[in-house]
C-alpha cells in the first residue's frame, strides 16, 4: 500500500517538473519571438500585398416557395473590385441540407464570378433561412451569404 502511494507521488512530482520545464521553454520561445518584431512585419506585408476587394452582387436571396423534396439551386454573384486575383478559399454552409461549390480558379481583377449552392428541402417544411460563410483573400476575410425559402409540406 505504501509502495502504491510512493509511486503515485513520484509520478505527480515528475509531471510537475515536466510542466515547469515546458513552461520555461515556452517563456524562452515567447521572449525570442517578441524580441524580433521586425521579422514578422515582412510576412504581414506579403500577406497584405495579396489582398484584393470584393463586391457582392447577390448576398441575400429570397427564393420564394418550393415543395418539400425539391432541390433548389442558388447562385451568388460577385465582382473582384481589387487589383489582385480574388481567391475564394472556402465556402461553408450552415447545415448539411445545403451544399456549396466555390470557384476553382482565382477571379481576375474586374471580372465577375459566382458561388453555387444547392438546398435539399427533404424534411425541411416551413420557412428556412440558411447561411454560407465565405472565406476569401480580402481585407475582411469572411462574408455571410444567405437565402430564404418557404417549403410547402408534402401532402
pLDDT tens sequence across 13-42: 443 333 333 333 343 333 333 232 333 344
> In this predicted model, what pLDDT tens digit does every residue of 61-110 receive, in sequence order?
999 999 999 999 999 999 999 999 999 999 999 999 999 999 999 999 99
User: What per-residue confidence (pLDDT) applies to 4?
Assistant: 43
- Whether 11 shows a pLDDT value over 50: the answer reads no
Dmax (CA) for the chain in angstroms is: 77
| Cα(145)–Cα(107) distance, integer angstroms | 18
User: What per-residue confidence (pLDDT) applies to 26?
Assistant: 41
What is the sign, positive or negative, of the torsion defined by CA atoms of 92, 105, 143, 78?
A: negative
Bridge partner residues of 54 (DSSP)? 80
- Whether 10 shows a pLDDT value over 80: the answer reads no
Amino acid at each position: 500500500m505504501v509502495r502504491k502511494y510512493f509511486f503515485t507521488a513520484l509520478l505527480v512530482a515528475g509531471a510537475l517538473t515536466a510542466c515547469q520545464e515546458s513552461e520555461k521553454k515556452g517563456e524562452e520561445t515567447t521572449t525570442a519571438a517578441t524580441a524580433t518584431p521586425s521579422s514578422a512585419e515582412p510576412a504581414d506585408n506579403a500577406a497584405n500585398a495579396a489582398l484584393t476587394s470584393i463586391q457582392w452582387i447577390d448576398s441575400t436571396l429570397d427564393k420564394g416557395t418550393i415543395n418539400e423534396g425539391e432541390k433548389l439551386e442558388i447562385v451568388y454573384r460577385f465582382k473582384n473590385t481589387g487589383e489582385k486575383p480574388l481567391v475564394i478559399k472556402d465556402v461553408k454552409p450552415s447545415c448539411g441540407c445545403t451544399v456549396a461549390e466555390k470557384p476553382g480558379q482565382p477571379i481576375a481583377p474586374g471580372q465577375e464570378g459566382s458561388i453555387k449552392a444547392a438546398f435539399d428541402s427533404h424534411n425541411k417544411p416551413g420557412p428556412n433561412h440558411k447561411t454560407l460563410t465565405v472565406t476569401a483573400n480580402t481585407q475582411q476575410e469572411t462574408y455571410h451569404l444567405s437565402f430564404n425559402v418557404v417549403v410547402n409540406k408534402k401532402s
